[in-house]
Amino acid sequence: MSEFALSQTQETFVMNLGPQHPATHGVLRVKLTMDGEYVVRAEPVLGYIHRMHEKMGENRTWAKFLPNTGRMDYLHALAYNHGHVMAVERAAGIEVPERAEYLRVITTELNRISSHLLWFGAFVLDLGGFTPLLYAFDDREQILDLLEGVTGSRLTYCYYRFGGVYNDVEDDFLVGTKAFISRLRSRLPMYHGLVTKNIILIKRLKDIGPIPPDMVTRYGATGPVARGSGFNFDLRKNEPYSVYPEFDFDIPVYTECDSMARYMVRMDEMEQSMRIIEQAIDKLPEGPVKAKKVPKTLKPPAGDYYCAVEAARGSFGVRIVSDGTNTPYRLKLRSPTYSNLSLFEEASEGMLLADALALMGSLDLVIPEIDR
Amino acid sequence: MSGYFTELFTGTKSLAIGLGITIKAFFQPVVTLQYPYETLEMKPRFRGHIQLTQDEETGESKCIVCGMCQKACPTGCITVAGKKPEGSKKKALTRYILNFTTCSLCGQCVESCKPNAIEFSKDYNLASFDKNDFIFDLLKRLKEKS
Amino acid sequence: MNPIPEVLRLVIYLTCLILFAALNAAYLVWVERKGAGHIQRRIGPKEVGPFGLLQPLADGIKLMTKQLFLPAGVDPVLFKVAPILLLVPAVMSFVTIPFSETLVARDINLGLLMIFAFASVNVLGVLIGGWASNNKYAVISAARAVSQNVAYEIPMLITVITMVMVTQTMNLNEIVMQQPNIFKWYVFRFTASPLMPVAFLIFFICSLAETNRAPFDLAEAESELIAGAYTEYPGMGFGVFFMGEYANIVIGCAVTTILFLGGWQCPFGLAPGWWWFLAKLYLLIWTVVWIRWTYPRVQFYALLNLSWKVLIPISLVNLLLTGAMIKVF
């Protein structure tokens, strides 16, 4: 393909993809230097939805930052909740009751499935197929209903608290979750028949947008992007946190490095998440859902703490520097899509516009999380 | 050459499977809810904007004006004021303003309230052209309710 | 014999055909939205009129009342000419389409040739519209539309040549008359060539590509090029493009019906008439809609590969086979 991409003597033109463009799913702007339909250089321009989450965190107490976490990656808000509460719990030395940990795992994994479902729909929409989006939404809606019954909100959750969760679940949530899992299991073959095995989709994704392993390491890409390039790296296994070590699940890894590999990683991850949820529901212990001794004004001892969780898009890291007061001295958030997007410039060089957009879709970008 | 025909065959077959799936969905019942005509019952834990709860005996608010909700609110959207009526030891609520434009529905105010004086409402039909419509005087609402 | 003068007859026919094209465009949008709705398990338009039947009217009023705005930097003449260039050939093609044995505006001997002559013109509409818009997305779209149309005209015309070899005529009415029942439809005429169903498929796929319909809607790829060549068009400028597009779909499906599915003839020899033609036509159009809401869009080189590596070789094989069969039998 690259032999078509012309040399610098040829005329190029600059095209703005975004900040308002159907394929960027948000306010991302990509400055494309094009040669006909070939992308010579794609330069992502960030900052259109920068809200200073880190600075906001440094100006308010630890607990007051909780609602912010759900507003970075609004599609996998619970993982961000989880990352922040875990980092603060680690700093303040709060023990979390086992039942709360199980509930966190169940809700996070449900949220992960919903995030992947939305990505699936939006990705196929990028490729021009409308209908899978609506089918995915049909299933996602079930998850949102379930989570709404527990957390009270549908998108920007704020469910976890330091030392536990906001409130206990009722039995109908557990029954509903099991029913949903059997429903999704019966729907996944339909998705594969309609989309995965479709020859048009295979032609559009196979060998398109290769991200070689060395590019993954250079840019620090994580999550399905890294796993689609052959890295068996998932924080739930590599740096086990919460109660993940107690479950039996696999990390889907594909070595093809192309968009299809990243697509398959996410489709397989949904199945693995369902396995985790099933086991967690079966093993769910009785007990309190909130630690007893959580001080009202939290003052973690001075120090430097880091905690990372596996969000739907990769590793989400929270680094907090405490000076022993009731506000963080420094709060640094490592969001996965920022790294995943930064490799786009190099990976998309010499690609056709449509292929570059397929590559961008396969990175699963959530813009508010990139800008924070 | 055989690969060419296998691909042609499997490709055509995959396309036919796709058409089968969509036509099956075409004859299945719709799953959407016709919103303004049909509405859903909100879940018991649904987090709407907050409202004051009523004391069953007195019909008044249970609020003791401790100010914990105001303190717990991340965005500072709650303003509480109260004063001691003559001859009473407890403070009585005189003003409870919720600025819903900045509320993020995190639930920390409800969590921090010891006497259970505030709860989430099930109201979600909130739309207005005027920003001032979202500055709720909760005490007034409580009085209108009772 | 004929009480109505020829000129008056033609004027009436043309008025009716333009109305037919406009009505089709309006209600095909309704069919498309309703079909998409139910395929995606929702209802689709339902508010305006019963079953949303007045929705096209509301859309039409909306488009017509919008200002015909000329964006800065456009070529004012070409910008206005382009939508007409897309619509007029489409409507002109209707002239030779036989709706029934007698219901045809101009029954000319070279009807098939005329339709394809006009079909090649309508790509100019997209090209000029995209170019005149002074928009990078529109120019890319125009370039895509042209290369796609060029690539797909070849297998389409090879198939048409095959058909003309078999039918020995270019008069559409005569072609229809050769297919009085389902066994004599050209799609199942195995005595002419065993590959006839394949030829039908090739022709159908090509007409999808020629009319820029999904999965070949590269020119209007909304997730890549916003609205392609139509990005800058306001109000009725866009509306005319839209009408032209749908008229082209109707033409494509009508020609397919006439060539392969027996036109206005009844499948089992009962009362032939325009109703059979319309039934077959709308069945094909429904298939077009159904296909659109099932598949993702093809990639550009996959589109060209399909044309050059699959459709053209197979249609050439079919051409040779048909020639041989004619010579032998």
State whether residue A29 is helix, strand or coil.
strand
The verdict on residue B75 lying in a domain is: yes
Q: Which of A158, A161, A198 sits opposite B14 (nearest CB)?
A: A198
Most C CBs within 10 A among A131, A137, A138, hence the mutation to make, goes to A131
C284-312 mean pLDDT: 87
pLDDT of residue A47: 84
Residues of C whose CB is below 8 A from B21: 294
Contact C40 A198 (CB under 8 A): no
Q: Would you place residue A182 in the very low, low, confident or very high pLDDT band (cuts 50, 70, 90)?
A: very high
Identify which of C40, C223, C302 has the shortest CB distance to residue A131: C40
Residues of chain A contacting B74 with CB distance shorter than 8 Å: 60, 63-68
Give residue A29's pLDDT. Answer: 87
Is a pLDDT exceeding 70 seen at residue A354?
A: yes
Q: Do A67 and B45 touch (CB under 8 A)?
A: no
Q: At A114, is the pLDDT very low, low, confident or very high (cuts 50, 70, 90)?
A: very high
What does pLDDT average to over chain C?
Answer: 83
A231-251 per-position pLDDT tens digit: 888 888 888 888 888 888 888
Interface membership of C40 toward B (CB under 8 Å): yes
Q: Is the pLDDT of residue A5 over 60?
A: no
Comparing C265 with A254, the larger pLDDT belongs to A254
| DSSP string computed for B77-108 | -EEEEEEPPTT-SS-EEEEEEEETTS-----H
CB contact under 8 A, C298 and A200: yes
Whether B37 is covered by a domain: the verdict is no
- pLDDT given at position C269: 66
- CB contacts of A68 in chain B (<8 Å) are 74
- Asked if the model's pLDDT at residue C183 lies above 80, the reply is no
Domains annotated on chain A, with CATH? 13-371 (1.10.645.10)
Q: Write out chain A residues lying below 8 Å of C300, CB-based.
A: 37, 352, 354
C-alpha–C-alpha distance, residues C189 and C108, integer Å: 25
Under the banding of pLDDT at 50, 70 and 90, the label for residue A2 is very low
Please write the tens of the pLDDT for every residue from C9-59: 788 888 888 888 888 888 888 888 888 888 888 888 888 878 888 888 888
Question: pLDDT above 90 covers what percent of chain A?
Answer: 8
Q: What is the mean pLDDT of residues A209-223?
A: 88
Tens digit of each residue's pLDDT (9 = 90 or more) over A115-151: 999 999 989 988 888 888 889 998 999 899 888 888 8
Q: What is the pLDDT of residues C133-160, one digit of tens each?
A: 888 888 888 888 888 888 888 888 888 8
Do B70 and B112 lie in one domain? The reply is yes
Domain that holds residue B67: 50-145
**Averaged pLDDT score across all residues of chain A:** 86
ipTM above 0.90, yes or no: no
What is the model's pTM? 0.88
Q: What is the pLDDT of residues A311-342, one digit of tens each?
A: 888 889 899 898 888 888 888 888 888 888 88
Contact: C41, A128; criterion CB under 8 Å: no
* Residue A35: HSE in the Cβ half-sphere, 13 Å Cα cutoff: 16
> Which chain C residues contact residue A130 at CB under 8 A?
36, 40, 293
Is B43 inside a domain boundary? no
Indicate whether B71 and B98 sit together in one domain.
yes
SS (H, E, C) chain C: CCCCCHHHHHHHHHHHHHHHHHHHHHHHHHHHHHHHHHHCCCCCCCCCCHHHCCHHHHHHHHHHHCCCCCCCCCCHHHHHHHHHHHHHHHHHHHHHCCCCCCCCCCCCCCHHHHHHHHHHHHHHHHHHHHHHCCCHHHHHHHHHHHHHHHHHHHHHHHHHHHHHHHHCCCCHHHHHHCCCEHHHCHHHCCCCCCCHHHHHHHHHHHHHHHCCCCCCCHHHCHHHHCCHHHCCCCHHHHHHHHHHHHHHHHHHHHHHHHHHCCCCCCCECCCCCHHHHHHHHHHHHHHHHHHHCCCCCCCHHHHHHHHHHHHHHHHHHHHHHHHHHHHHC
* Higher pLDDT among residues B59 and C44, named by residue: C44
pLDDT attached to residue A113: 92
Mean pLDDT for chain B overall: 83
- Candidates B19, B47, B78, B109: best to mutate against A (most CBs of A within 10 A) is B47
Count of structural domains, chain B:
2
The structure tokens 């964006």 sit at C71
Interface of B with C (CB under 8 A): 4, 8, 15, 18-19, 21-23, 25-32, 34
Q: Does C286 touch chain B (CB under 8 A)?
A: no
Average pLDDT on A44-71 reads 86
pLDDT at residue A1 in the model = 42
Is B99 domain-assigned?
yes
Q: Decide if pLDDT at C67 tops 50.
A: yes
